[in-house]
Structure 1
Amino acid sequence: MSINSSTGRQAVTALVLDLFRLNSRLLIAGDRLVEGLGLTSARWQILGAIAEAETPRPVAWLARDMGGARQNVQRIVNDLSREGLVSFVPNPHHKRAQLVVMTERGRETYDAAVDLWEPMTDELMDGLSVKEIEEAHRVLLRLRENIEKREE
């Protein structure tokens, strides 16, 4: 089912503008939430991508998984490595693209960030049902799929 082009364009534009605003506020809130752990939202996001990956990944794969630029992810991973939160291990499939793994200290830091995050999710859910959140998630995934098609 297709929606009216003008109405649809206006709705998508309003949604995207609010997503930009939400993203900015989430980054600010995330920075404040984890600053005591020596993290930023960007560092926390990369630790999360490493934690959620089924197997260790090279930086390029982490960047792709996150939808970010490889150079930016590489810079942050290098910082995390210097701080002892991640390390590099040989990649059996590629000599130069080492795999990024979380250290014990990195795991403890990430887990502490998650512990701080969980109460914040209660605040974010205020006034929303699980069904509404799941529907919003489906919409965002579809928008992401549609934009990724443009990049192919």
Structure 2
Amino acid sequence: MIDEIAKRQYVVKRNHSKRTVEGDAFSLFAITALRLAGRLTTAGDELAKPAGQTSARWQVLAGARNGTHSVAQIARMLGVARQGVQRLADTLEDDGLISYVDNPQHQRAKLVQLTKEGEARLAAIEVAQADWADRLGRPFTATELEAARLVMARLIDTLDAEAGKP
């Protein structure tokens, strides 16, 4: 697959302005990150399925864990659109997994709070996730994984700073 990516990169480089070595490296990193994101979503769906959830619903349940976040705050944490999180939260409320409670900081933006059933479903997913994470983490050192996480976190910060720039 890396060879395929390199071939595509050659076509991009041939047809557009030249990139730096770092630009090429970033492009390969971004493609790999997107491929990883797809696989993580698929794996997350499988982990959440026994609890009757999906990766997206799991993320909102986790965001509601301590009951101190609004839908907009959960969306910002996840880096996704508020409207999508709102739709998921409304469905989770219909299913009895979350409830909306008054927000002392904002009259209209309710806080999202787990119900007892929501806590139970999230706990079941997290038990499965712990075994999965341990298994997938074994081939790597904690230092390697932390270094990769730090690069991704820096990139998130860089993209946030770039948002809105042409």
TM above 0.5: yes
1:123 Cα offset (Å): 2.4
Partner of 1:38: 52
Partner of 1:7: 21
Match among 85, 100, 109 for residue 121 of structure 2: 109
1:95 Cα offset (Å): 2.1
* Runs (5+) with no aligned partner, structure 2: 1-18
The percent identity for this pair of structures is: 35
Look up the SS of the partner of 1:84 in the other structure: coil
Partner of 1:48: 62
* Runs (5+) with no aligned partner, structure 1: none
TM-score by length of 1: 0.91
Look up the SS of the partner of 2:44 in the other structure: helix
Look up the SS of the partner of 1:42 in the other structure: helix
Matches within 5 A, 1:1-152: 6-51=20-65, 56-151=68-163
Q: Distance in 2 between matches of 1:100 and 1:33?
A: 23
1:64 Cα offset (Å): 0.9
Q: Distance in 2 between matches of 1:18 and 1:96?
A: 40
TM-score by length of 2: 0.83
RMSD of the alignment, in Å? 1.4
| Stretch of structure 1 that moved more, 89-98 or 33-42 | 89-98
Contact map agreement 2:63 2:69 (CA 8 A) in 1: no
1:92 Cα offset (Å): 2.2
Q: Distance in 2 between matches of 1:26 and 1:117?
A: 12
Contact map agreement 2:61 2:114 (CA 8 A) in 1: yes
